[in-house]
Amino acid sequence: MKWLFSAYKTTERFLNSQQYHQTRSSSLYYSRFYSSSRILNASESSNRLSDSSTKVDLEIISRETIKPSSPTPRHLRTFNLSILDQFMVDVYVPFAFFIPNTNNDSVSDVVNKRSKHLKETLSEILTRFYPFAGEVKDNLQIECNDQGIYYTEARVNQTLQDFLRHPDDEKVRGLLPENPNTTTSSIGNYIIRTQVNIFKCGGIGLLTSTSHKIIDGHTNYMLMKAWAAAAQGSPETISPSFVGAEIFPNNMSLEYSLPSKILATKTLSTKRFVFDSNSLALLKAQPVASASSARPPSRMEATTSIIWKAAAQAATKVRQFGPQSPHVLLSMVDLRKRASPPLPEESIGNLVIAAGTICFPGCQLDLPTLMGQQRESIAKINDIHIESMKGEKGHETFNEILRASNQLMDLTAEGDCLVATSLLNSGAYELDFGWGKPIWVYLMNHGIVRRVALNETLTGGGVEAIVTLSPDEMEIFECNPELLSYATVDPSPLRFVH
């Protein structure tokens, strides 16, 4: 997962303050390519997901390892992680693209031609993204040994249209590679696992599970963009820039780690809440209580804030909250464009940090205040703050940030903290492997207790918010009348296909 507190000095002032009773939110800055390839025999390819809880009828038809088309040079065999990679939670992040068979090719052609082409072009781009074919050695390094990417093909016994009529989170997870699960350590494992799910209609569900030790959301998108360009035969070449460890070198003596409270130890509940353009217009018509800017709220600010408000209110129904009990919002911020000079768009690695802000759900909450506090916390992730994180001089900054984040989590009951991430305006729906763009792009949770992930809707300018809470909180959250006046719960992605 992708988060870090900024401006730890403000956090320290809050922690020392006795003014917990205030009703406003308080900001806290805080050989070619096939290896071990085989087609499974009939007994082996039994329905991997046949139990009643998974709801997906599929069979694995092959498991392979895709290696770079040319070996990684010896002088590149050791890849240093940045300090942001170093303390990033060691989990796998699942991602899904659903692509229809717009050319009406036969299923046999999809299996024999498209899938083969995907493997060939993936092998080609791995020569540029060579660390992804390696093995995480520890929190400081990747051994670029060309072990490759684990690649699975599966046949799904239904059409893509049928699947997308009611695609709940559990159902989509049934299309992921069987191992690792999201909370498995990447050390000693493949950095990326991919499963190509071929539906009866020839549509494809392309699902990846990537190690967060080196791959953040933007990095994953760059990889997919490069893969799609290669599959299309496009002259456009994406050359990854590995500047992270140079700018933010790792630290063997890092004193603190991320708080464990943000990671799930119990069952979670995930649902989708879709805001159409009309609802967004109503939300964005509200003022933002921010001294730094008078502009209207963005889609991210508007949707995140109403979800945060409803999540905080749900928490008060299942746990005791007093006027001094905080509920935290961590908004993930990409550093690439905020640094001075900006980092290359093709920068690879975890180049994100979290902007933190607090509300007190035991008191009255209003959207203008919540939107304003989120905006102000994000604004403090500026070039000056990023500069303080650079080089070896930034090691102490990171230690203080991590120390403050642990202190803050100690103040929250059961880690009452909502982590917000966004792929709005990322271009994910523009990816085209040569047979059409995806009709649904889905961001799955990778084990964060409370999380909201934002993405576009395919058409109409809407926002899809994938929200994860504990089951008892979700039961209350999904019935919140204010939230439901703007959002629709779990609509079919097909409603956005024209």
**CATH code at 107?**
3.30.559.10
Task: Decide which of 191, 221, 247 is a domain's last residue.
Answer: 247
- CA-CA-CA-CA dihedral for 208, 209, 212, 213, to nearest 10: -100
Q: Is 212 a catalytic residue?
A: yes
- Determine the pLDDT at residue 259: 72
Do 191 and 267 share a domain, yes or no? no
One pLDDT digit (tens) per residue for the chain, 498 residues: 333 343 334 334 443 433 333 333 334 433 333 344 443 433 333 333 333 344 688 999 999 999 999 999 999 999 999 999 998 888 899 999 999 998 888 888 888 888 899 999 999 999 999 999 999 998 899 999 999 999 999 999 999 999 999 988 999 999 998 765 666 778 888 999 999 999 999 999 999 999 999 999 999 999 999 999 999 998 888 899 999 999 999 998 877 777 777 777 778 999 999 999 999 999 999 999 887 777 899 999 999 999 999 999 999 999 888 888 899 999 999 999 999 999 999 999 999 988 889 999 988 899 999 999 999 999 999 999 999 999 999 999 888 888 888 887 777 777 688 999 999 999 999 999 998 999 999 999 988 889 999 999 999 999 999 999 999 999 999 999 999 999 999 999 999 997
- For 125, phi and psi rounded to 5 degrees? -75, -20
Do 101 and 227 share a domain, yes or no? yes
- Complete edge-to-edge strand list for the sheet that includes strand 78-80: 78-80, 141-143, 135-136
Residue 431 lies in a domain: no
- Determine the pLDDT at residue 354: 86
Task: Decide which of 187, 221, 247 is a domain's last residue.
Answer: 247
Task: Decide which of 247, 270, 285 is a domain's last residue.
Answer: 247
Cβ proximity of 424 and 331 under 8 Å = no
- Determine the pLDDT at residue 179: 65
* Strands 192-198, 149-156: pairing kind: parallel
Cβ proximity of 398 and 83 under 8 Å = yes
Do 99 and 226 share a domain, yes or no? yes
Residue 58 lies in a domain: yes
Beta strands (DSSP E) in 343-494 are 352-359, 417-422, 440-443, 451-456, 463-469, 487-489
Q: Tell me how far apart the alpha carbons of residues 452 and 271 are, in angstroms, rounded to a whole number.
A: 10
Q: Is 168 a catalytic residue?
A: no
Structurally, the chain folds into a number of domains equal to: 2
Do 24 and 45 share a domain, yes or no? no
Do 166 and 273 share a domain, yes or no? no
- Determine the pLDDT at residue 106: 83
- Determine the pLDDT at residue 110: 83
Cβ proximity of 473 and 315 under 8 Å = yes
Do 26 and 39 share a domain, yes or no? no
**In terms of residue numbers, what domain contains 79?**
34-247
Distance separating the N- and C-terminal Cα atoms of the chain: 34
Residue 441 lies in a domain: no
391 to 216, 245, 315, 383: CA distances (angstroms): 21, 9, 40, 14
- Complete edge-to-edge strand list for the sheet that includes strand 92-99: 34-39, 58-66, 149-156, 192-198, 204-211, 92-99, 440-443
Q: Which of 146, 169, 212, 327 is catalytic?
A: 212
Q: Which of 105, 366, 432, 490 is catalytic?
A: 432
DSSP 133: G
Do 325 and 360 share a domain, yes or no? yes
Cβ proximity of 486 and 320 under 8 Å = no
Do 263 and 173 share a domain, yes or no? no
- Determine the pLDDT at residue 280: 97
Do 177 and 298 share a domain, yes or no? no
Do 338 and 293 share a domain, yes or no? yes
| Sign of the Cα pseudo-torsion (350, 423, 256, 10, in order) | positive
What's this model's pTM, rounded to 2 decimal places? Answer: 0.88
CB half-sphere exposure, 327, CA atoms < 13 A: 29
Do 331 and 231 share a domain, yes or no? no
DSSP 359: E
